């Protein structure tokens, strides 16, 4: 594989994001990350840039927490690179055993995020990861879930940030790192 600069990696990732107008409902411009997954160089570039950011900014990280469903595509790759574990935050009703959940609203609907009670430990230093930040509802609800579990959220990582929707403001004091902004 070619050795790429940071700028080249960001350009490659941006080229592999595909827009679909009016999906899943009228008025939504859906940003599809599937072409990134089909291109090993682009997927490696995403993992490289997240790894570099986390190593520089949060060297004490102990766990990567991925958001259902597309956070599961990037999170385990990053966790392996960092040599830490990966935990899942799922949409409600998918996890066995004792769980904790928080409801939230989306750019196009409503949902509830849930984690197993032993998914994160009190005091554990975590980073949250997802494919995209829109209104910030999903990451905000997940931050609330982490607070309830007494985990320490160091920051949030997303491939794409939709700036107009001001999701980073909704998440508040928890810093957000994005690779591609629209
Ligand atoms: O910032 P927000 O307004 O909360 O929106 C972002 C969330 O929306 C999308 O997931 P979606 O809820 O569509 O679920 P999916 O990953 O299961 O398709 C996306 O993958 C994020 O998780
Ligand atoms: N515009 C969008 N594209 C892809 N995923 C999304 N999740 C919320 N808004 C989205």
Q: Is the peptide bond before 24 cis (omega within 30 degrees of 0)?
A: yes
Q: Which pLDDT does position 146 carry in this prediction?
A: 98
Smallest CA separation from ligand 2 atom 9, residue: 134
Q: Give a three-class secondary structure readout of 48-117.
A: HHHHHHHHHHCCCCCEEEEECCCHHHHHHHHHHHHCCEEEEEEECCCCCCCEEEEEEEECCEEEEEEEEC
pTM for this entry: 0.97
Q: How far is the CA of 34 from the centre of ligand 1 (A)?
A: 14
What are the sequence ranges of the domains in the chain?
A: 6-181
Q: Which pLDDT does position 156 carry in this prediction?
A: 98
Residue 110 pLDDT class (50, 70, 90 cuts): confident
6-181 belongs to CATH 2.20.25.90: no
Q: 16-30: b or e for each residue (b if 16 or more CB lie within 10 Å)?
A: bbeeeeeeeeeeeee
The Cα–Cα gap between 125 and 41 comes to 29
Ligand nearest to the CA of 166: 1
Ligand nearest to the CA of 28: 2
Region for residue 2 given its phi and psi (left: phi exceeds 0; alpha: psi -120 to 50; beta: otherwise)? beta
CB of 161 closer than 6 angstroms to any ligand 1 atom: no
CB of 167 closer than 6 angstroms to any ligand 1 atom: yes
Q: Which pLDDT does position 1 carry in this prediction?
A: 67
Nearest-atom number in ligand 1 for the CA of 131 is: 20
Task: Give phi and psi for 26, each to the nearest 5.
Answer: -55, 135
131, pLDDT greater than 90: yes
Query: What mean pLDDT comes out for the span 174-178?
Result: 98
**Which residues does residue 101 pair with via DSSP β-bridges, in sequence order?**
114
The Cα–Cα gap between 39 and 45 comes to 10
The Cα–Cα gap between 162 and 2 comes to 30
pLDDT digits (tens, 9 = 90+) for 21-61: 999 999 999 999 999 999 999 999 999 999 999 999 999 99
Q: How far is the CA of 169 from the centre of ligand 1 (A)?
A: 17
CB of 130 closer than 6 angstroms to any ligand 1 atom: yes
Q: How far is the CA of 48 from the centre of ligand 2 (A)?
A: 23
Query: What mean pLDDT comes out for the span 156-161?
Result: 99
The Cα–Cα gap between 114 and 125 comes to 19
Q: Give, as one character, the DSSP assignment of residue 172.
A: T
Q: How far is the CA of 132 from the centre of ligand 2 (A)?
A: 7
Whether the complex's predicted ipTM surpasses the cut of 0.95: yes
Per cent of the chain over pLDDT 70 is 98
Ligand 2 binding residues, C-beta < 6 A: 28-31, 107, 132, 134, 162
Q: Which pLDDT does position 107 carry in this prediction?
A: 65
Average pLDDT of every residue of the chain: 96
Smallest CA separation from ligand 1 atom 14, residue: 69
């Amino acid at each position: 594989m070619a050795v790429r600069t940071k700028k080249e990696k960001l350009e490659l990732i941006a080229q592999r994001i595909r827009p679909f107008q009016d999906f899943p409902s009228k008025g939504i411009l859906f940003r599809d990350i599937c072409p990134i997954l089909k291109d090993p160089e682009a997927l490696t570039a995403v993992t490289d840039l997240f790894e570099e950011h986390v190593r520089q900014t949060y060297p004490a990280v102990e766990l990567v927490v991925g958001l259902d469903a597309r956070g599961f595509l990037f999170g385990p790759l990053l966790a392996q690179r960092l040599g830490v574990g990966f935990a899942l935050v799922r949409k409600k009703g998918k996890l066995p055993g004792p769980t904790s959940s928080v409801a939230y609203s989306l750019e196009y609907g409503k949902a509830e995020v849930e984690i197993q009670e032993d998914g994160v430990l009190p005091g554990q230093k975590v980073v949250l990861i997802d494919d995209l930040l829109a209104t910030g509802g999903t990451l905000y609800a997940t931050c609330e879930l982490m607070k309830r579990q007494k985990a320490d959220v160091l920051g949030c990582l997303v491939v794409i940030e939709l700036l107009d929707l001001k999701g980073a403001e909704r998440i508040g004091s928890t810093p957000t790192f994005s690779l591609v902004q629209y």
